[in-house]
Amino acid sequence: MASKVVGKKFKWGLDFNTKPRSSNSDIPAPPGYNPSADVVSSKVSNPTDQSHLILKKSWEIALGPIKQFPMNLVIMYMSGNSISIFPIMMVVMMFIRPVKSILATHSTFRVIEGVSATGQKLVFMLGNLVNVGLALYKCHSMGLLPTHASDWLAFVEPQARLEYSGGGISLL
């Protein structure tokens, strides 16, 4: 009875015991196919390859803040110069993120153990300082930084405006 069940073939069944086609079939190899490429060679990785990869990864980490600078420029431009919650929130985050990154520089480069990464750390810190400078410039353009004596002292008169403009009509 068992031999009858084994010998019976269903229309949905596949027989994996059939012999494969011969490798010398009439179908030509596709363009670009190299039959010698099927040979797998096991290459033992040496430490110089790994040190090269570690160095490459450390430079990726170091250049991260510099790569963020153009996007931060666009975000700061799009947020505007008005004093409202959205631009102030953007400026605060633009200031806090690089400061936190500078304080966490050692832990950021911890994955690169055994390799001296002083140059990468310096580039990382400089990139973050550039982003802090962008946040300070945005604060200055919004008028949030005290730049005149009248901002600090109540008895000093505010600086007089030299020019007024509004709506394309001359007011003077």
- Between 140 and 26, name the one with better pLDDT: 140
Listed in sequence order, the DSSP H helices in the chain are 2-7, 47-79, 85-103, 105-108, 118-142
Confidence of residue 170 (pLDDT cuts 50, 70, 90): low
Q: Report if residue 161 sits inside a domain.
A: no
157, pLDDT greater than 80: yes
Residue 1 lies in a domain: no
Q: Is residue 10 part of a domain?
A: no
**DSSP letter, residue 42:** -
Confidence of residue 44 (pLDDT cuts 50, 70, 90): low
What is the structure's pLDDT at 68? 94
The contacts of residue 135 (CB under 8 Å, 6+ apart) are: 76, 91, 94, 95, 98
pLDDT at 41: 60
Portion of the chain with pLDDT greater than 70, in percent: 77
Whether the pLDDT of residue 23 is over 60: the answer is no
Q: Assign 39 a pLDDT band (cuts: 50, 70, 90).
A: low
Do residues 64 and 124 touch, judged by C-beta distance below 8 A? yes
The answer to whether the predicted template modeling score (pTM) of the entire model surpasses 0.95 is no
What pLDDT is recorded for position 99?
96
pLDDT at 22 over 60: no
Specify if 106 maps to a domain.
Answer: yes
Whether residue 27 is contained in a domain is answered as: no
Number of folded domains in the chain? Answer: 1
Mean pLDDT, the chain, rounded, equals 81
Cα–Cα distance, 90 to 78 (Å, whole number)? 10
β-strand partners of 166: 169
Task: Give the range of the structural domain holding residue 64, as residue numbers without chain letter.
Answer: 49-146
Per residue in 132-163, is it b (16+ CB within 10 Å) or e — as a string? bebbeebbeebeeeeeeeeeeeeeeeeeeeee
Within a domain: 69? yes
Domain assignment of residue 166, yes or no: no
- Residue 142 placed within a domain: yes
91 vs 1, higher pLDDT: 91
Q: List, as own/partner pairs, every contact residues 82-88 make where C-beta atoms lie below 8 angstroms and the sequence separation is at least 24, other chains included.
A: 82/142, 83/142, 83/143, 83/144, 87/138, 87/142, 88/142, 88/144
Structure confidence at residue 146 (pLDDT): 84
